[in-house]
Structure 1
């Protein structure tokens, strides 16, 4: 009885049954709302509940059977297709250890011996400390030290550029 005013009707007054996809794990009756790939390069997906998706993904290696070069090429290709999302991830509320840093930034932090959520002051301090130990003026003629120095320099440049991008956008 709404006298022709549909907005007066109560919520959930529809009689149709809601379509819920069940978990693809045999015997599970939970809703299957977590997609998981059936095989590496396949668009087909399983749909598991959260518990079974975590169980399935625990043993999953997305780069299984690929050489290091093929894995790097696939990562680069997929980073290009999802670049807009990665670029916008710094607008979120979360900190830096939860996906707001790129793979290059994480590798640079690892090279400097830092945690994924380290701030830029810690990066600068670690870089100065490590670079002083292997600087070519301190250890002339040492090829390993020169290589380590270049690694630290590159890591610092990657992290400095990322910090400048964050400051510019934020």
Structure 2
């Protein structure tokens, strides 16, 4: 009499774990020459082409760094496509008030972020900190303190412009309520 083999599948539910079969799984490697990482990020080989490169995250970021979405379009077509993109994504801008509020959550514009960099402040700085930093920095390079110093005058103008950008943004926020 032949010896019967016992199965690990004793009905429902399965008693052995999923993925415990002995077959080899295929892993696609990154298409970058010499890279041994798994290629999980598709990247187009050419504009409007269905063919794709498969890169690891590092090489996909390198590939997309200089990608120009508007390449090959004339100025009017670029403006039309850009306005279409803005109108399609307008829902995200309208919904900002539903998210967490605060300065570091994307509620500041790029100009405001550059102005905060000039004042060497964090993205979530409140207006009292902005005013204090502006006064402290402006006192050191003010034209009355350093008369005839062109570099100090240029630095003072830069600080003044940064403060004006942030002040206008704060006034808009207060006006909206």
TM-score range, shorter chain: 0.5 to 0.7
Distance in 1 (CA, whole Å) between partners of 2:139 and 2:176 is 32
- Does residue 61 (structure 1) correspond to residue 65 (structure 2)? The answer is yes
Quote the offset at 1:88 in angstroms.
Answer: 3.7
Using the size of structure 1 for normalisation, the TM-score is 0.55
> Which residue number in structure 2 is paired with residue 120 of structure 1?
127
> Which segments of 5 or more consecutive residues in structure 2 lack a partner in the other structure?
1-26, 30-39, 69-77
Number of aligned residue pairs: give it: 123
Q: Does 1:134 align with 2:134?
A: no
Bigger Cα Rg: 2
What corresponds to 1:68 in structure 2?
A: none
2:22 is aligned to: none
Which of 78, 83, 86 pairs up with 1:82? Answer: 86
Give the unaligned 5+ runs of structure 1. 1-24, 47-51, 65-73
- Structure 1 residues 99 and 129, CA gap change in structure 2 (3 angstroms): same
Distance (whole Å) between structure 2 residues aligned to residue 109 and residue 166 of structure 1: 17
Are 2:108 and 1:101 equivalent residues in the alignment? yes
Q: Which runs of 4+ in 1 moved over 2 A?
A: 36-40, 42-46, 54-64, 77-90, 92-95
Change (3 A) 1:135 1:58: same
Instruction: Measure how far apart 1:153 and its partner are.
Output: 0.5
Root-mean-square deviation (CA, aligned residues, Å) is 4.0
